[in-house]
Amino acid sequence: MTTPRYYVTTPIYYVNAQPHIGHAYTTLACDMLARFKRLDGFDVKFLTGTDEHGQKVATSARAAGIDPQRFTDRVSRNFRDLAEFMACSNDDFIRTTEARHKTSVQALWARLVDAGDIYLGAYAGWYATRDEAFYTESELEKRPDGTYVAKASGAEVEWVEEPSYFFRLSAWQDRLLAFYEANPDFILPKTRRNEVVSFVQGGLQDLSVSRTALDWGISVPGDDAHVVYVWLDALTNYITAVGFPDTDGDYARYWPADVHMVGKDILRFHAVYWPAFLMAAGLRPPRRVFAHGWWTNESQKISKSLGNTIDPIKLIETYGLDQVRYFLLREVPFGNDGDFSHAAMVHRINGDLANDFGNLAQRVLSMIHKNCDKMVPSPGAMTEDDRALLDAAAGAKARMGAAIDVQAFHEALEHLWNVVRAANAYVDRQAPWALRKTDPDRMRTVLYVLAETLRHLAILAQPVMPDSAGRMLDLLAVAEDSRDFACLDAGHALCAGLPLPKPEGVFPRYVDPEAEDA
């Protein structure tokens, strides 16, 4: 039987600034997806990395007083460190300054030339260095001082005139619309799909795909006066990482990518330009582009000028890694904009994690430790209530998987918490502390049902909270090789008589330092 494969990517992050919560959010979403699929038996490739060419990088390096390569070496390291700090399980970290990537970009360019979709002309129009994007007159607004900015991003634009190679994007309008029609889930969420379709229906202009005004980039094959436009360069990373231009091996195994996860601000590049480039080159487009929303900070737009950027490392140092991972993927429907607030974070930590899940595990394992000789108890005959809880636990993986497959991470976690809540309600109904005196055999059955439910919950929590879920599985004495989703069956159920370690808390409550001092 062939092992199913799954390829998920973050956008590669632009290295002209430090990592922030948006970078952490996208990478974390991909990590949860990758971990879930691995536990479900998939051969997963999870890619992240850094986009290191273009005018913004050259300008930032100049401002720092160092050459662009040294600048990108330093800043790229920050993004790699963040992924490691967040315990992300990426299989590859790509940099667009690598030799393998130059080979890939130039091979893609050659394919586009051979297809007749690239021609030499001259560009005259508006360019936003901050966005590394060209804009039409209709996409701009004039400021009181007479300068222009892009409506979508607020980035200042300048008039640029230079020789340029163009990609015949205008020729791909009908073919892109036909592709969207044939693949309705290519762009998610649906609201973003509607935006892209509307944009393409409005007409496409040929796209400038080279620059002569800078030399920090990949040279156009056969014309060193031009460098490849940074977005054609950057997007190619997704096929570079699977071995292109070799179309055997990893490329044949993993391409097309199952999900490109991106912020909504770069959706057009991924959902319009990228599939057009690929189809023009005779290559298959990705299966999906998912555009998530942005975060605000205590209801304020995040910006450097306001000084309210959120450093993900400080966030983790304050609240804990698994707590931050859980909050970011649970608090907001994935795809929507979200607001970070200290109060919301503490509510999730103390409510969902400490009170609901943590207290459930602590109560159950402590009762087993005290009343069942520190071993998994032996169950008796099951009641309808027992079977209902075990069935809910057994069915959670399928419900979570259906949500994960459309990147509804918040829904997946809600399915998990439905079982947590059901288990807490079962504890209250069955009152094992009272059964200890009146019916010890029934108490042992109830505690067994709860321990087995905890085993399911901990296995399913691994993709979002790998460390905490791992510690809970340790407390249940579940072997390291019995923690994937194939073990969510009766054949791997907890064995009566299995010795259990002394219970420990897994999810501590958050106490404000000021309150602690008081």
pLDDT in tens, 417-450: 999 999 999 999 999 999 999 999 999 999 999 9
- What band does 514 get if pLDDT is binned at 50, 70 and 90? low
Could you state, in order of their start, the residue ranges of all structural domains in the chain? 5-293, 342-492
Phi then psi for residue 290, to 5 deg, are: -110, 125
pLDDT value at 320 more than 70: yes
The mean of the pLDDT values for the chain is 94
The C-alpha atoms of residue 90 and residue 84 are separated, in whole angstroms, by 9
* Burial readout 333-358 (b: 16 or more C-beta within 10 A, e: otherwise): ebbeebebeeeebbebbbebbbebbb
Structural element, H or E, at residue 133 = strand 133-135
**Is the pLDDT score of 283 beyond 60?**
yes
Instruction: Give the model confidence (pLDDT) of 87-130 as tens digits.
Output: 999 999 999 999 999 999 999 999 999 999 999 998 888 888 88
Q: What is the pLDDT of residue 466?
A: 98
Question: For residue 18, which phi and psi values (nearest 5 degrees)?
Answer: -80, 155
pLDDT tens column, 357-385: 999 999 999 999 999 999 999 999 999 99
Q: Which long-range contacts (CB under 8 A, 24 or more apart) does 272-276 make?
A: 272/169, 272/176, 272/196, 272/199, 272/200, 272/204, 273/167, 273/169, 273/207, 273/231, 273/232, 273/235, 274/235, 275/176, 275/179, 275/186, 276/167, 276/169, 276/172, 276/175, 276/176
Cα distance between residue 46 and residue 381, in whole Å: 45
pLDDT at 211 over 60: yes
**pLDDT over 80 at 300, yes or no:** no
Domain 342-492 has CATH 1.10.730.10: yes
Architecture of domain 5-293: 3-Layer(aba) Sandwich (3.40)
Convert the pLDDT of each residue in 465-492 to its tens digit: 999 999 999 999 999 999 999 999 999 9
- Over the Cα atoms of the chain, what is R_g? 26
pLDDT digits (tens, 9 = 90+) for 180-191: 999 999 999 999
> What pLDDT is recorded for position 305?
59
| 222-265 residue pLDDT tens | 999 999 998 999 999 999 999 999 999 999 999 999 999 999 99
CA distance 166 to 210: 7
Query: Average pLDDT, stretch 58-72?
Result: 91
Q: What is the pTM of this model?
A: 0.93
- Banded model confidence at residue 451, pLDDT cuts 50, 70, 90: very high
Please state, for a pLDDT cut of 90, what percent of the chain lies above it: 80
Whether residue 415 contacts residue 399, with contact meaning beta carbons closer than 8 Å, is answered with: yes
Q: Are 430 and 446 in contact (CB under 8 A)?
A: yes
CA atoms in the 13 A half-sphere facing the CB of 435: 19
Average pLDDT (11-21) is 86
Looking at residue 516, its pLDDT comes to 54
Give strand ranges (E) for 354-406.
none
Q: So what's the pLDDT on residue 518?
A: 44
Give me the pLDDT at residue 125, please: 82
Predicted confidence at residue 306, as pLDDT, reads 66
Ramachandran class of 290: left when φ > 0, alpha when ψ lies in -120 to 50, beta otherwise: beta
The predicted structure's pLDDT at residue 152: 82
